[in-house]
Structure 1
Amino acid sequence: MPACFAENPAFTALMKYGGVLMAKTVLMSPLTGITRIVKGAAASREDAVALSGNDEHKIKRLMSKDPYVERLKAAHMNDLENILPFFVIAILYIATNPDSATATLLFKVFTIARYVHTIAYVGKIRQPTRALAYNAGLIINLFMIVQLIKYSL
């Protein structure tokens, strides 16, 4: 293994694709916030009160759940549940000194799968697109986990 992770092509690939994944994950929060404003869907009663001037009818309307905002929130939560474990698994996988072409392919496909998953989720694209994208990421994580276990035996 190289003395410095940054000299490892697999680690460089993770930095590249990981940066793209983290940008997507981080940008989901402001996207949800902007959509809440556009749709008039407050995140909390305090927000609804601030936006309504204490008009109880407006508060109720602002507190109703908007289906599109809920889809954005669900897509973001799915990212947090899948991308964060991916980083831990991928860093440990890199420590096994995998073939850099294989590692790069895994990171690239995982990244594409997560973008497709979000687009399918938020864009209401019919199944099985979202399920296939989710399963692609899951299989990649499981593959790397198996490699970790095999390496440690």
Structure 2
Amino acid sequence: MAVIIRNEVFSCFVFYGVLLVLKMYIIAIITGQVRLRKKAFANPEDAMRHGGLEFYRLDPDVERCRRAHNNDMENILPFLFLGAIYSMTGPSLAVARLHFLVFFLARVLHSVAYLFALRAPTRSLAYTVAQIPSFSMAVQILMAVAAYA
């Protein structure tokens, strides 16, 4: 069954939004795999299942993965809200695509920089670049609805 979304901007948003959600799942899977490899479990029952309570502990590599995932949630979830609303304000497809693409690429770079501990300021630059389209969309949404407030 094919679903046709007639709003091209919204279709573009959905494409990048789904890619971002998949990226978040990948980071979650990586976190779980690092936990297993490093035998560093967040819950005592998991540690007992995998060797004993001595594995109920923190590990710097696991924590790095968790921070990358938490940062995704703090940034991608607002983007999904803003992007959906922004898509309804009637932006040009080219401008909207640029917003979505820049955010997506910056968040991928941010995750790579986090997981591989790339030299500073790679991660913070990626974070900042991703904030630009989010801020732009928020301002454009406010301008579109200001007349009705």
Q: TM above 0.5, one fold?
A: yes
Which of the residues 59, 64, 78 maps onto 2:53? Answer: 59
The residue aligned with 2:7 is 8
Structure 1 position 50, deviation (Å): 2.2
Query: CA shift at 1:22, angstroms?
Result: 0.9
Where 1:7 maps in the other structure, the secondary structure is coil
Aligned position for 1:34: 33
Give yes or no for contact 2:42–2:58 (8 Å, CA) kept in 1.
no
Provide the rounded CA distance (Å) in 2 between the counterparts of 1:10 and 1:132. 27
- TM-superposed CA distance for 1:135, in Å, is 0.8
Match of 1:121 among 99, 105, 114: 114
| DSSP 3-state at the match of 2:30 | helix
> 1:98 is matched by which residue type in structure 2?
P
Aligned CA-pair RMSD: 1.3
TM-score norm. by structure 2 comes to 0.91
Between the two structures, name the one with larger relative contact order (CA 8 Å, sep ≥ 6).
Answer: 1
Q: Where do 5+ consecutive residues of structure 2 fail to align?
A: none
Compute the displacement of 1:105 (Å). 0.6
TM-score normalised by L of structure 1: 0.88
Alignment of 1:3-152 (within 5 A): 6-52=5-51, 58-60=52-54, 62-152=55-145
CA drift at 1:64: 2.7
Q: Distance in 2 between matches of 1:25 and 1:51?
A: 25
Number of residues of Structure 1 aligned to a counterpart in Structure 2: 143
Q: What residue identity is the alignment partner of 1:119? A: V
**Whole-angstrom distance in 2 between the partners of 1:32 and 1:38:** 10
* Structure 1 gaps, min length 5: 53-57
Q: Percent identity?
A: 38
Structure with larger Rg: 1
Q: Could you report, residue by residue, the CA deviation over 1:34-62 in whole angstroms, capped at 9, with x for unpaired residues?
A: 1111111112111112222xxxxx522x1
Query: Residue 145 of structure 1 aligns to a residue in which SS?
Result: helix
Deviations along 1:83-134, one digit per CA (max 9) or x if unpaired, are: 0110100111011010110000100010000000000011000111111111
4+ residue runs over 4 A deviation: none
Task: Give the superposition deviation at 1:75.
Answer: 0.2
In structure 2, what is the Cα distance between the partners aligned to 1:140 and 1:9? 18
Letter in 2 for 1:6: I
